Amino acid sequence: MEEKFVIPGEIVATAEEFVPGKGTYESDGKIVASEAGKLTLDVKSHTASVKPRNPVTEPKKKDKVLASITDVRSSMAICDILFIEGAARQITGDAEATLHVSSISSQYVETVGSAVRVGDVIRAEVTQSQPSTQLTTVSAHLGVVLAHCSRCKSVLQLKDKSLFCSECERYEKRKIADDYGAVSVS
Ligand SMILES: [Zn+2]
């Protein structure tokens, strides 16, 4: 039995080998994680499942977190914190945070949607935890670490320092982290 930590949207197995269990779904012949947590590929039952990590704490200032974008508005993105990177204490339940347009990049960001989109997974730093959680992605190691094509939902690949969909043969714009596509969440 193989175990690793995965994030939502990550392809964890093929549908030829495994059936989707809890925390996963099937899409285009692939088994995809719908939750962040520990992946179990059970070869006996041929089931791929993801078990969310254990409770629970509030993120603190300076924590690096992985978060998924749940809403994009004119002045901010709303995020759901998945977990704190490199920490034993973890998050479950309601862990909403906001990423203000002025805290996305050191360069001018014309619209929030040109930097992050719904479904993207970002690495961000907590700048404030009370009364609400505020995030920044300004520095090079922060930003989008996993994104899908807004047209066909394929995982976007890093190409020429931009994100490229090989299915649609088009680029999409994001504020990406310097290790896009190679993020380790274990
Ligand atoms: Zn595409």
Nearest-CA neighbor of 50 among 5, 2, 95?
A: 5
Length of the chain: 186
Ligand 1 centre from 165 Cα, in Å? 5
Note the pTM of the prediction, 2 decimals: 0.72
User: Measured in angstroms, how far is the CA atom of residue 2 from the centroid of ligand 1?
Assistant: 30
CA–CA gap between residue 97 and residue 119 (Å, rounded): 15
pLDDT at 186: 41
Task: Using the mean position of ligand 1's atoms as its centre, give its distance from the Cα of residue 152 in Å.
Answer: 4
The confidence score (pLDDT) of residue 182 equals 79
Parallel/antiparallel/unpaired status of strands 133-136 and 121-128: antiparallel
> pLDDT at position 145, please?
94
Cα of 182 from ligand 1 centre, angstroms = 20
Both tokens of 83, joined, read 């977990």
Per-residue model confidence (pLDDT) at position 54? 54
Q: Specify the pLDDT at position 57.
A: 64
pLDDT for the residue 78:
96
Give average pLDDT by consecutive 10-residue segment, the chain, 186 residues.
Answer: 77 94 93 89 92 68 92 96 74 80 95 95 94 95 94 91 94 95 64
pLDDT at 151: 93
Contacts of 25 (CB under 8 A, 6+ apart): 31, 32, 34
Give the tokens for residue 163: 């994100």
Domains and CATH numbers, the chain: 2-52 (2.40.50.100), 64-145 (2.40.50.140)
pLDDT at 91: 62
Measured CA to CA, the distance from residue 40 to residue 118 in angstroms comes to 27
Give residue 85's Cα distance to chain centre: 12
- Location of structure tokens 């939750």: 35
How many C-beta neighbours within 10 Å does residue 177 have? 22
